[in-house]
Amino acid sequence: MKYTVVLEPQEEGGFTVQCVEIPGAISQGETRQEALANIKEAIELVLEVQREELHKKTPSRREFLRRRIGVGEEQVSVRFH
């Protein structure tokens, strides 16, 4: 997948770079090439963390398909999303 990055030269030297589509993917480098290599790594790391967080929030297949809870004398089926 391709992402848009903004590469900005810094007064003190080097470059900062950030990904437009992925907040938090920000990096820097002494040269353009180094900054671009670093932002690729930053994007990969942010996406990895996002996948891990999504996995933590996703219920197991068993929980997702159906969970039964008792309400008084009746059984009620509840779907979790």
For the chain, the distance separating the N- and C-terminal CA atoms, rounded to the nearest angstrom, is 28
Res 80 pLDDT > 70? no
Q: What is the mean pLDDT of the chain?
A: 81
- 24: confidence class by pLDDT, cuts 50, 70, 90: very high
pLDDT, residue 73, reads 47
pTM (predicted TM-score): 0.68
pLDDT digits (tens, 9 = 90+) for 37-67: 999 999 999 999 998 888 787 666 555 555 5
Res 68 pLDDT > 60? no
3-class secondary-structure state, position 65: helix
- 17: confidence class by pLDDT, cuts 50, 70, 90: very high
Output the CA torsion 69→72→75→78 (10° steps).
-40
